Structure 1
Amino acid sequence: MTQQSLLVLASGQIASLAFLVYEICLTFDDEVNVIWSKPNRSWIKWQFLFTRYFALSIQVINRGIDSAVASHMNMVSTDLKNWYMCQVIVGSILMSAVEAVLMARVYALYNKNVWIFFVFVIMILAEIVTVILGIVLNRPGDEFRASNILLRSPTSFTYFGIGAIASQITILGLTLLKYKAAVQGGWSKAPIMMLMVRDGTAAFFILLVVTTLTVVATSTQNEYAPIGNS
């Protein structure tokens, strides 16, 4: 990789952290008014706070490690290798946290149908198994170098992405099936139905694009793949 490519890569990763911090600062007043005011027993409150600040913490840690590696600091290779493998676990946790909200919306839309609940549980378990399988099959070998942290995305991201895409398609499919039933029943114009379809479809396409790009960039080992995964 050329020096220019390294500069682009580093700039992109720093930009992703800057954008995240900017978004948090921009919406912090809404967070205080809408999220903090919720009772402590509200799971959505803790889900939001976890997703937002866990992602921020990981970004800060990653950028710190990137800086240390780029500065050729003496670091334990085994620890770096373990952290490298953990990247897909972090991504899976964050994706699952987002999917949990979408699943809860669909679950409510189906009047808390027990079969829908079991479908979602199976989907989450399948994603976990896929991630574990990806890690086991793609463990870094003796050829691993500290520079891999900067230059390559873990191949296990491909497995994670495929599992996530399957879950997202299922969530959208169930939403559209309920919308079809609503059209036939004459209540498709109900505000809650319109909101669910609009937000569900928008979330699906955003997550699908991000996940698909992650899979493609990782599987082809594009030199800028780490930017997308950051």
Structure 2
Amino acid sequence: MADSSDLAKAILETQQINYCSLSSIAFLIWDVCITFGDEVNYIWRQSNRSPTKWLFLFTRYVSVVGQMIFFLRSLGFFWTPPMPRSICHPWFIFQSLWTGLLVSAVELIFGIRVYALYQSSRWIRNLLLFVFASNFLVVIITYAAMLPKFQYNDDCFPLTNVNSLEALRIWTVTPVSVQTVLMLLTLIKAIPSMRKSIHKTPLILVVARDGAWAYILISIFFLYDGIFYNFLSLLPRTLILSWFMTVISFSSCRLILNIAKLRDRESITDRDHEHFPEFTSDLQVGQELYEMESTANRDPPLAYPVTPTGARRDIKEISASPHSRLEESV
């Protein structure tokens, strides 16, 4: 009887894991479908030299491929539990590198946004290089020192011992610290700019808003896994792994798409109001980012602009129209 109940419990747990993996894939594919039109309009047409174009495509489609591989593995397509111990170590390395690359891509997106906010400042570039290099060194050293000491259960999850818990803490604290630094740099620049501006600056608002919710969402997954991993069963561990890649893809794509769409609307506004341009200084840090301080610290014009036909236009109509339309869309 005990064997029958254990077998039924294992079958039920495997079924729940498969449902969990399938739900995360379904959400990810649904997100790809509803934003595919925007992807074609705002991402594909960008220059091949734009780093954010390739970061977008990488985080979106590498996440889909990774989710498919992990789902097939949970179905027993490659092997069925108990898994051979010789397979567990290379599988865990592959799984860790896959998720690590996605996390690095999101951090680069955050970094590009910060670099744009600070108008390609040399000191911010050096600071970002130092932060990313330190993050890379810590992760690589931890992998090299800790991975050979890992032991695995029948599902190829690391057993909770001193080595695995210490590595997990490092892998939790390091990315959260990097993203916290990037988020603080964003807020330090964005908040004073919004206060100084006579009109609200939609681009800065979008950068601060999207950066905040993406930072909170990703950090919750990191912290939950890092703090409670020792107490989690197989199902919540699988839940975190599968949905984490979905959250990474969803967040990073929204970070880029929202700015790209705002930039496109602003370009149309500039063509309609060429004598009162907004956000027209391109930082050359990806096609979708503009100099975000260009209007925040700009004094209102003192004279009435003249249209190409020679007629004077009311300054209130010109200055208010672009902002009102952008704020309604945001």
TM-score band w.r.t. shorter chain: 0.7 to 0.9
**1:176 and 2:187 are equivalent in the alignment:** yes
The match for 1:227 among 239, 250, 253 is 239
- Give 1:173 shift: 0.9
**Number of matched residues?**
229
Go from structure 1 to structure 2 and tell me whether the alpha carbon gap of 1:229 and 1:151 turns closer, same or farther (over 3 Å shift).
Answer: farther
- Give 1:58 shift: 1.3
Please name the residue that 1:85 is paired with. 93
- Share of identical aligned residues, percent? 25
Q: Does structure 2 retain, via aligned residues, the 8 Å contact 1:103–1:120?
A: yes
Listed as ranges, the gaps of 5+ residues in structure 1 are: none
Go from structure 1 to structure 2 and tell me whether the alpha carbon gap of 1:133 and 1:6 turns closer, same or farther (over 3 Å shift).
Answer: farther
In 1, the alpha carbon distance for the partners of 2:119 and 2:149 equals: 49
Q: Does structure 2 retain, via aligned residues, the 8 Å contact 1:106–1:171?
A: yes
**1:199 and 2:207 are equivalent in the alignment:** no
Q: Which piece of structure 1 moves more, 77-86 or 64-73?
A: 64-73
C-alpha offsets along residues 101-131 of structure 1, whole Å, 9 cap, x if unaligned?
A: 1111111111111221122222222222332
The match for 1:160 among 159, 164, 171 is 171
- What amino acid does structure 2 have at the position aligned with 1:21? I
Please name the residue that 1:118 is paired with. 126
**TM-score when normalising by structure 2:** 0.60
More helix per residue? 1
In 2, the alpha carbon distance for the partners of 1:166 and 1:219 equals: 22
**TM-score when normalising by structure 1:** 0.83
- Give 1:188 shift: 8.2
Q: Secondary structure at the match of 2:76?
A: helix
- What amino acid does structure 1 have at the position aligned with 2:237? A
Listed as ranges, the gaps of 5+ residues in structure 2 are: 1-5, 243-330
Go from structure 1 to structure 2 and tell me whether the alpha carbon gap of 1:71 and 1:36 turns closer, same or farther (over 3 Å shift).
Answer: same
Q: Secondary structure at the match of 1:68?
A: coil
Q: Does structure 1 retain, via aligned residues, the 8 Å contact 2:72–2:78?
A: no
Mapping of residues 1-230 of structure 1, within 5 Å? 2-3=9-10, 4-68=12-76, 72=80, 77-139=85-147, 143-149=151-157, 156-182=167-193, 185-186=196-197, 189-223=200-234, 224-230=236-242
C-alpha offsets along residues 168-197 of structure 1, whole Å, 9 cap, x if unaligned?
A: 111111112113432664568333322222
Larger Rg: 1 or 2? 2
- What amino acid does structure 2 have at the position aligned with 1:166? S
